[in-house]
């Protein structure tokens, strides 16, 4: 079955859609970091292998067999009335391998509607949903993974759906705590569009990252390059005569890089920090940057449960709060067998 999924991914690959960043794609919600670990590390990571069952959504190669039996529930209090709930579970099917399953749902809340004259038309709802299934397989120091995703978007009565896939790989150093990950994300095609004139595109992306922990330091660092399939991703309004000059090459390079760090206080306590230069530059105010692009978080573990919280800085005026609880169902099964 795993081989069939990989084959299907390559069949879909000619339908890859390319485009510029900044509202040029549909289904952008799939790129919102919906779990606290990812939020706390800046929002992008494809190299933390066997650390978090949620990370299969970032790179399917990261979910090795050791994560089987883990189930996680996350809640992101986004902006206004928008929020995201997400759940991921991984199960070992014996000779069929270990598979992970996930659902992410973004609700925009109730939105006021008006006609051209400003008269109220009541309210409407909008939501988007992602369903994912994937598997990773490790051979020696290398791991590969693939996942299939079904995406559905409902906006004010208009609906669109798409099927996509991620493929990924990871290298695990045999002696040092160093991993390198690569993910090719959102390969696929639109099944049905909002209207007959719509031209929706999937947010295709290529991401490459490295995570490493110095031998005698309680710190783990992650550097991730993303939007690598695009060149200049800076936004420059040529009509804004009072705005800043076009950014330079070095700033553009930094906009492709996400920086994350984890302070490993103990096996059961972890503090996270992240910096995303693209978010900071695009969402800062002219007078101040505030906390835009800066994120932080905390994880603590009590027996079979892991609790996490992170705050993502998206604007000088504030950010988003992200919570999760992860349970190791294997520990419950062991206790039941002993009874």
Q: What is the pLDDT of residues 202-257, one digit of tens each?
A: 999 999 999 999 999 999 999 999 999 987 777 655 555 455 556 678 888 899 99
The bridge status of strand 70-77 relative to strand 158-172 is unpaired
Domains (range + CATH), the chain: 2-338 (2.40.160.40)
- Examine the pLDDT at 103 and tell me if it is beyond 90: yes
**What does 97-161 look like in DSSP terms, one character per residue?**
-EEEEEEEEEEEEEEEEE-TTS-EEEEEEEEEEEEEEEEEEEETTEEEEEEEEEEEEEETTEEEE
Tens digits of residue pLDDT in 106-135: 999 888 888 888 888 888 889 999 999 999
DSSP per-residue letters across 7-55: HHHHHHGGG-----SSS-SS-GGGGS--SHHHHHTTS--S--TTS-GGG
Helix then strand then coil, % of the chain, to nearest 5: 20, 50, 35
How many residues are recorded in the chain? Answer: 339
Nearest Cα neighbor of 323 from 298, 286, 302 is 298
> Which residue is it, tokens 């199960």?
91
Provide the CA 28 distance to its chain's centre, in angstroms. 11
Within 10 Å of residue 176's Cβ, how many Cβ atoms? 11
How far is 134 from 100, CA to CA, in rounded Å? 5
pLDDT tens digits for range 249-289: 888 889 999 999 999 999 999 999 999 999 998 888 777 77
> What pTM was estimated for this model as a whole?
0.86
110 versus 325: which is more confidently predicted?
325
Quickly tell me which residue has 């206790």 as its tokens.
Answer: 335
């Amino acid at each position: 079955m795993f081989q069939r999924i990989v084959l299907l991914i390559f069949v879909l690959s000619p339908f890859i859609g390319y485009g510029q960043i900044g509202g040029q794609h549909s289904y952008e919600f799939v790129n919102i970091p919906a779990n606290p670990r990812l939020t706390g590390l800046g929002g992008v990571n494809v190299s933390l292998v066997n650390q978090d069952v949620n990370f299969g959504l970032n790179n399917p190669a990261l979910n090795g067999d050791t994560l089987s039996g883990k189930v996680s529930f996350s809640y992101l209090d986004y902006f206004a009335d928008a929020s995201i709930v997400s759940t991921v579970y991984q199960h070992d099917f014996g000779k069929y391998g270990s598979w992970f399953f996930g659902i992410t749902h973004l609700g925009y809340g109730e939105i006021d509607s008006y006609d051209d004259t400003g008269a109220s038309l009541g309210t409407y709802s909008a939501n988007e949903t992602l369903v994912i299934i994937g598997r990773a397989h490790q051979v020696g120091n290398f791991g590969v993974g693939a996942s299939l995703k079904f995406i559905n978007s409902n906006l004010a009565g208009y609906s669109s759906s798409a099927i996509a896939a991620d493929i990924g790989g990871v290298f695990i150093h045999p002696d040092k705590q160093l991993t390198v990950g690569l993910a090719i994300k959102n390969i696929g095609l639109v099944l049905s569009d909002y209207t007959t004139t719509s031209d929706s595109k999937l947010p295709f992306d290529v991401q490459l990252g490295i995570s490493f922990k110095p031998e005698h330091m309680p710190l783990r660092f992650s550097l991730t390059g993303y939007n690598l399939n695009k060149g200049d991703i800076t936004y420059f309004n040529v009509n804004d005569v009072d705005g800043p000059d076009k950014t330079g090459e070095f700033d553009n390079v930094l906009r492709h890089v996400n920086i994350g760090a984890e302070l490993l206080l103990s096996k059961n306590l972890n503090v996270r920090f992240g910096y995303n230069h693209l978010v900071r530059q695009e969402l800062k105010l002219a007078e101040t940057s505030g906390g835009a692009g800066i994120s932080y978080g905390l994880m603590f573990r009590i027996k079979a449960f892991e609790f996490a919280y992170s705050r993502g800085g998206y604007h000088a005026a504030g950010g988003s709060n992200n919570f999760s609880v992860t349970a190791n169902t294997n520990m419950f099964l062991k206790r039941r067998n002993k009874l």
